[in-house]
Structure 1
């Protein structure tokens, strides 16, 4: 796996709605900009060899880094793959929609739910939102959130940005009723 760069973002929200956020709301993102393993090959029917060669390694690289960057217990998490213009959205999906990738983050976060995901194709500097949900119950509304990311020089046409996001809490100042109140 050829990695051009790794980007780490840590966001702290200290006030929301004009009120202090106690404790401070933290979100961390770690993204790797990698060479697309299928770039320049035309249509690749069988993606499995590339998945086997790269998905676990990228998951093992990113999962501990995002947990460490968060510096707190992970309560919400998500993932993203942004494919450069010479690739297919399926290339990003192939790397992140496999247990070989996701189980590294589930283990690091002590999570049991599926990771919410974003996949898209775009030019360098494209903005993408990583969806996050609670690590053990995807119906917990307070933890439904997203985090906007932009890496100015990525992805190049033959690259993929693979990113993980972790939050130490739900949305700051959340006050929606539990989903169970509507059932």
Structure 2
């Protein structure tokens, strides 16, 4: 199996106090982490690519831990999450699918067993490509107040033979959420939906 060759890691955090309405009592914090790594399958079609998922698992855990630290160190404070990948032009969209399990399971592990599916997106693009990573509540996908996205990208990545794998986390709902639907305090199920 190929080793994960990291070129750089980019971490960003934003703190939202208001969106034109009243100031939030506690600002919403949103953070992303992106690792730019070599794509061992770039440049040619490879039938068997699944072994790379095993190699990505430690990277996923490290990134999830760093993201929790970026948001203050309390995994219990994380209420939203998502993941994504940008694959350089020498690769294919399926290479981004290799991040689904390592990225998602890493966040669930680090967050202590979050139940909701981790929303995801991926695309092939050149250096500078931007990606909107979807966010949902960590325990129930139907909590509308936590539907969000975080835009990520970096000017010099991914190069054609690279991929950028991304995790995002938030500390709560949108600052002025008022679109109704299932409220976080009304989650009843353990199926990750409601």
| TM-score, normalised via structure 1 length | 0.91
**Does structure 2 retain, via aligned residues, the 8 Å contact 1:26–1:167?**
yes
**CA–CA distance in structure 1, aligned partners of residues 92 and 58 of structure 2:** 21
The aligned counterpart of 1:105 is 107
**CA–CA distance in structure 2, aligned partners of residues 151 and 21 of structure 1:** 30
Deviations 1:19-40 (A, max 9, x none): 2122111001011000002123
The aligned counterpart of 1:81 is 85
Aligned partner of 2:164 among 158, 161, 164: 161
**CA–CA distance in structure 2, aligned partners of residues 86 and 129 of structure 1:** 21
**CA–CA distance in structure 1, aligned partners of residues 85 and 129 of structure 2:** 12
Matches within 5 A, 1:45-84: 45-52=47-54, 54-71=55-72, 72=74, 73-84=77-88
Structure 1, 57-66 or 171-180: larger mean CA deviation: 171-180
Aligned partner of 1:21 among 19, 24, 28: 24
Equivalent pairs, count:
176
**Does structure 1 retain, via aligned residues, the 8 Å contact 2:21–2:176?**
no
Larger relative strand fraction: 1
**Does structure 1 retain, via aligned residues, the 8 Å contact 2:61–2:110?**
no
* Partner SS state of residue 170, structure 1: coil
* Displacement after TM superposition at 1:177 (Å): 1.3
Deviations 1:129-167 (A, max 9, x none): 110000000000000000111211110111110010000
Specify every segment of 5 or more residues in structure 1 that has no aligned partner in the other structure, as ranges: none
Aligned partner of 1:171 among 174, 181, 185: 174
* Structure 1 residue 142 corresponds to structure 2 residue 139: no
| TM-score, normalised via structure 2 length | 0.86
* Partner SS state of residue 103, structure 1: helix
**Does structure 2 retain, via aligned residues, the 8 Å contact 1:128–1:148?**
yes
**CA–CA distance in structure 2, aligned partners of residues 176 and 101 of structure 1:** 29
